[in-house]
Amino acid sequence: MTHSLSTLIQQTYDSALKNGDLLFFEAEHAVKDSNGIKFEITYAPTLAQKPHHESAGTDDNKKKAKINPFLPPHPALKVKDLDEHTVVLNKYCVVPHHALIVTKEYKSQTQPLFPEDLAATWKCMTTAYGYTPAMAFYNCGPYSGASQPHKHIQILPLLKEQPQPPIKALYNQIQERKAGQIYVLDKLPFVHVMTPLDRSFIDSCSDNPEPLGDYLGQMFFGLLDAMFQQMRKHAEPSRETSYNFLMTNDFMMMVPRSSEIANMNGLQVSINSLGFAGMLLVRTLEELNTMQQYPDLLELLAQVGFRWNPDAEPDVEQ
């Protein structure tokens, strides 16, 4: 009998947790409204026990000396083999059932996502959690908040009561959205691009990875291209490219990154794709209190992205 991905994730999670192969960090959640986005702040004080991984930085020798946790993944955390990827549970999770889609062969986290990565991600994202929708994200490059250099996309179940990431509230304000069109939101003070997905096309080929991957790849590279166009207008060209990528069951978003760490009144906060989804993680009470009182969380995100250049030529409407 073959089990569904959702059942496999739950069974693997339960046994890995019981046997101590997976660590779940208890967290408290707070909500802070900033510019119409209800940011979810997750406070996980015991996360300090998690071994510290250096960021996926630029020092190749250091990376080679490190053990790659995905080659091979720990057998107790392995959920399922796909054609070119393996679904693995996050060993250190704050959200139960947080899973990673890792390439079977070593590929670099600085690569973009290709059709096969996106088709596998869509399939997993839409079948991983029978109980609620999911979101996928990819932290690409040394300033993206990634801690592992081996290519891995992540999927996370969303809250039943709020089955979309908080950033969706702004996305919903785009009038007359058209699938495949690239949008930029005035309210966000940093370079980003978004595009709605054509659900009826995706649903028509969801059992056929090739057209699904081609379609999602086209959307991904369209966004990447639009992001580079924005970067040419708004940022210095010299840095290594890093970006965060989000995908839900109806849109994609990409945000280029200038640094990993935001400075919040002297406290250092590491931000990855989830921050741009409207989900921030803190580890100490001081960080929690400071974040709750911080006047504008979008400003915190702007610090680690690229602010709009006020002198840039305005975009031409197409």
Residues marked as catalytic: 152
Q: How many residues bind ligand AMP (CB under 6 A)?
A: 15
* Minimum separation from the CB atom of position 151 to ligand AMP (A): 10
* Minimum separation from the CB atom of position 20 to ligand AMP (A): 13
The residues, ordered by sequence, that sit 6+ positions from 100 with a Cβ below 8 Å of its Cβ are: 70, 87, 88, 89, 90, 152, 153, 154, 155
Nearer to ligand AMP, 195 or 272 (CB): 272
Cβ contact 265:313 at 8 Å? no
Nearer to ligand AMP, 14 or 225 (CB): 14
Q: How far is Cα 155 from Cα 99, in angstroms, rounded to an integer? A: 5
Q: How far is Cα 194 from Cα 220, in angstroms, rounded to an integer? A: 10
Nearer to ligand AMP, 88 or 288 (CB): 88
β pairing state of 23-24 and 92-93: parallel
Q: How far is Cα 122 from Cα 134, in angstroms, rounded to an integer? A: 10
Tell which one of 88, 158, 202, 298 touches ligand AMP (CB under 6 A).
Answer: 88
DSSP 50-65: SPPPPPS-S-HHHHHH
* Minimum separation from the CB atom of position 149 to ligand AMP (A): 8
Nearer to ligand AMP, 76 or 169 (CB): 76
* Minimum separation from the CB atom of position 138 to ligand AMP (A): 8
* Interface positions, 33-72, toward ligand AMP (CB under 6 A): 69
17, burial (CB in 10 Å: exposed 0-12, middle 13-18, buried 19+)? middle
Contact between 248 and ligand AMP by CB under 6 A: the answer reads no
Tell which one of 91, 123, 234, 283 touches ligand AMP (CB under 6 A).
Answer: 91
Tell which one of 42, 86, 90, 195 touches ligand AMP (CB under 6 A).
Answer: 90
Distances (CA, A) of 177 to 35, 184, 195, 253: 21, 12, 9, 14
The residues, ordered by sequence, that sit 6+ positions from 52 with a Cβ below 8 Å of its Cβ are: none
Binding mask 257-296 for ligand AMP (x = CB under 6 A): ---------------x------------------------
Q: How far is Cα 134 from Cα 29, in angstroms, rounded to an integer? A: 18
Which residues, listed in sequence order, are joined to residue 165 by a DSSP beta bridge? Answer: none
Contact between 77 and ligand AMP by CB under 6 A: the answer reads yes
* Interface positions, 103-162, toward ligand AMP (CB under 6 A): 139, 145-148, 152
Give the CA count within 13 Å in the CB-facing half-sphere of 283. 11
Contact between 74 and ligand AMP by CB under 6 A: the answer reads yes
* Minimum separation from the CB atom of position 249 to ligand AMP (A): 21
Give me the residues that bind ligand AMP (CB under 6 A), please: 69, 74, 77, 88, 90-92, 100, 139, 145-148, 152, 272
